[in-house]
Chains A and B, each alone.
Chain A
Amino acid sequence: MTTTEYEPNIVLSTTEYDVVGTRPIRPDGADKVTGRALYGADVNPTGLIHGKILRSPHAHARIKSIDTSKAEAHPGVLAVVTAEDLPGTKLGGTVDYGEGKQDLAYLRGNVMAGDKVLYAGHAVAGVAAANPHVAEEALGLIEVEYELLPPVLKAPDSMGGGAPVLLEHLRTEELGERTDRAGNIATHFRHTLGDLEEGFKDADVVVEREFNTQTVHQGYIEPQNVTALWNNDGRLHIWTSSQGPFEVRGAVASALDIPVSQVKVTPMEIGGGFGGKFPLYHDPIAALLSKKSGHPVKIVMTRKEVFEGTGPTPGSNMKIKMGATSNGKITAAHAYLAFEAGAFPGSPVGAAAMCVFAPYDISNAVIDGYDVLVNKPKSAAYRAPGATQAAFAAETVVDELAGKLGIDPIEFRLMNAAKEGARRADGVVHPRIGLVETLVALRDHPHWKAPLEGPNRGRGVAVGYWVNGSGPSACTISVNADGTINLTEGSADIGGTRASVSMQAAEVLGIRAEDVRPTVTDTDNIGYTSGTGGSSVTFKTGRTAHDAAQNVKEQMIARAATIWEISPDTVELDKGVFHSRTDPELKMTFSELAEQLNDTGGPIMGRSAFSPTGVGAAYAGCIADVEVDPDTGKVDVLRFTIAQDAGKAIHPSYVEGQMQGGAVQGIGWGLNEEYFYNTAGELTNGSFLDYRMPTSLDLPMIDTVIVEVPNPGHPFGVRGVGEVNIVPPPPALANAIHAAVGVRMYQLPMNPAAVMEALRQQK
């Protein structure tokens, strides 16, 4: 298929399979559309009571005292906890909670503040009561005496001398070396490639720009929730909405200083995460309240708490300088990336550095990265963390270079596109990647050539990179007598992975996707499975499902051989039918053999547990048409097309859904979303009404092109598809705004006020 004729959703398939690449109904669909699926807030064990969290109203303050006596005496209150109830801790211990590691002291310090509160919304105490209203009432009876300290909210302000210091003991780390530099810069690193100075000498055109982006939330619909039962036998059972149940188990055990075997985590259905549902927040508080009260305790955050008390993606300050020859070859690139970690170290600046120049083959590059503390919530992952901010800056400069050279922006990108064997700026060599194919898909799409008429309208293009991930995973399969299989996995299903994992097992066994019954189980009933992040599940758990199915296949072949009294070496499975290569009369379908298992040697189970390597990185690119209102600065998106290399789309509908969802989040980030703080560091738009995310009324239908450049590291060629789609929309919109009204945008969001200011400066 080519992209010369318009279709809203195109799949450029390169390999065909029987099940992989089809579009069956999702296994969890019936429960979800009928409202029977159980989410965290639906958990109601016997004796349940309810918890609420007291949060700091101040962005930066020392806690002089906390008096909980009135709250404890309040009728209906069953337990109160503060940071004093957490085990004491020193710096140095590390907790891996999925999409990032954190020092145990920082983890506990973020769960409940000790001697200082570091952001407005920082948890200070927890209360459990017979109902949530009494618990909330009791929060008002806790007396906290604060000594107010000045807050610092932006990386450039925080990095300078004289800035208020958040963590007095902090010293800047430089790749394993703890320097003697105090302040708010937690980490500085540098990547160098080639000779930057020589590279810029070779350039005929150089563009250098500074960019700023704001703090943005993932905006998942379901708020964080937890129910904890610290049972009489000493075991702690946690029901929660998390992307990483095993990481929750490990982090809770570490935070509470109990053995990991004493904690069981049951993952409930999850109403969105996008990276934000990895970190630990109120789970240890609920556990401690349960231990004190003897009851199971449920805590469900309000939307305000989600905004103020959980981890958004950080704001950033970036400087990009790039040079190119007059014939269009990029010769040098420099990036300065300062990312706001929030109150504790750990922004995604490392990932940003990995991604910022990854679309291009550049021989000379330097990247300086800084992880900077500010008085905002500790940042968390958000869909390709760090890559979107970096791409906004780099892709705007690339577009400006193309414009100055008079080269079509897609052709300019193709002229410099990274291919297999090219070296990223951090030195790592690209394996087989699909950027060129993605750019060609955009160039050949009818959208790119379609006329765009009328004043103040413009078209922009941009591309983005995401490294993708893997991790330990486990899968078991048991064969049912009717020829179906039960598949058990530990990967929380956020984006339809029950289906994409099941389909890979079905393909191996030659059965229908509908004949696989997938279950996402708790941490007691499957091997360690790393979290649903890094666009990893269809790759890693798909791989273990594939291998577990191979394990089943081998056993089924052996069983058929036993029944037929022939050598298993002569038996094959082809499209769900076992047959003998030597005797054409010997044939049996998968279900016919399954029916005989218990009478011919017993049940068959397959298993696979390992940490798959061979991750395939992903590229996406998009074309955006906009119209800018010159009187108000409002930007309307008229048409939007996104192309993405999926390696192989296991279930194309869910890949298209990821592409459309990521594009919409990128549009929201680009045009409107931001944490709006006052000078005291208080969030002033902590609701969905004021934190304006795009709705269907703000958007055109997002057209998709799935590009398939198979990843050689996966049996079906899978590349993770969940994240890279959010990366290119903000710069594509910025470039479209420039095409429409002639102004370059150097900040996110590009809301009406920002666009009007840019237009005013242009005049």
Chain B
Amino acid sequence: MATVFIPALMQNLTGSRQTVEVEGSTVRQIVENLDKAYPGIKDRLVEGNRLKSNISVAVDGEVTPLGMLERVGESSEVHFLPAIGGGSCAGVPY
């Protein structure tokens, strides 16, 4: 299962857990399964079918342009990061 690192400001939804093991082979499946275990997370991360514009996702160390479509491996690490406009790594999915 992939390891999801829960951002500090969302750990109130996971009972202060900093990392969570989640099943899923795409970021979308990870988010869906995360939300089943910890309701409310999906609303914080997703708008419609896409990640919110101020949030990006890194899988195995690289922020991905595919967002919810990115593949996730069995031993992958998943990080949800703030994407604040104005910097070339923020807002643009690198």
Contacts and interface: CB of A to CB of B under 8 A. Distances in A.
Interface of A: 94, 96, 98-102, 173-177, 187-192, 275, 314, 341, 345-354, 366, 369, 371, 379-381, 385-386, 426-431, 467-472, 530, 533-536, 611, 613-615, 723
Nearest to B56: A350
Given A176-B45, A189-B82, A341-B86, A428 B61 contact: yes
20 contacts: A101-B91, A175-B7, A175-B80, A188-B9, A189-B7, A190-B7, A275-B88, A346-B85, A349-B84, A351-B84, A351-B90, A354-B89, A366-B8, A381-B87, A426-B79, A426-B81, A468-B94, A469-B94, A533-B92, A615-B94
Contact of A613 (B44, B54, B64): B64
Chain A contact residues: over half helix, strand or loop, or mixed?
loop
B68 interface: no
B41 to A, nearest CB: 9
A479 B66 CA distance: 33
Q: Top 7 nearest A-B pairs by Cβ distance? A: A100-B85, A348-B87, A351-B87, A346-B85, A534-B88, A176-B44, A350-B84
Contact of A99 (B9, B10, B45, B92): B92
Interface string B19-30: 000000000000
A613 B71 CA distance: 13
Interface string B54-84: 1100101110111000000000010111111
Given A176-B52, A369-B82, A469-B94, A614 B62 contact: yes
B88 A96 contact: no
Given A99-B88, A467-B94, A611-B65, A94 B7 contact: no
Interface residues of B, number: 37
A390 to B, nearest CB: 11
Interface in B1-40: 5, 7-10, 18
Interface of B: 5, 7-10, 18, 43-45, 52-55, 58, 60-62, 64-66, 77, 79-94
A417 B54 CA distance: 30
Contacts of A188: 9
A615 B83 contact: no
Contact of A350 (B5, B60, B80, B87): B87
A176 B54 contact: yes
Contacts of B58: 428
A92 to B, nearest CB: 9
Nearest to A191: B8
Residue of B44, B54, B55, B62 with most chain A CB atoms under a 10 A cut-off: B54
A187 B54 contact: yes
Contact of B86 (A99, A175, A190, A472): A99
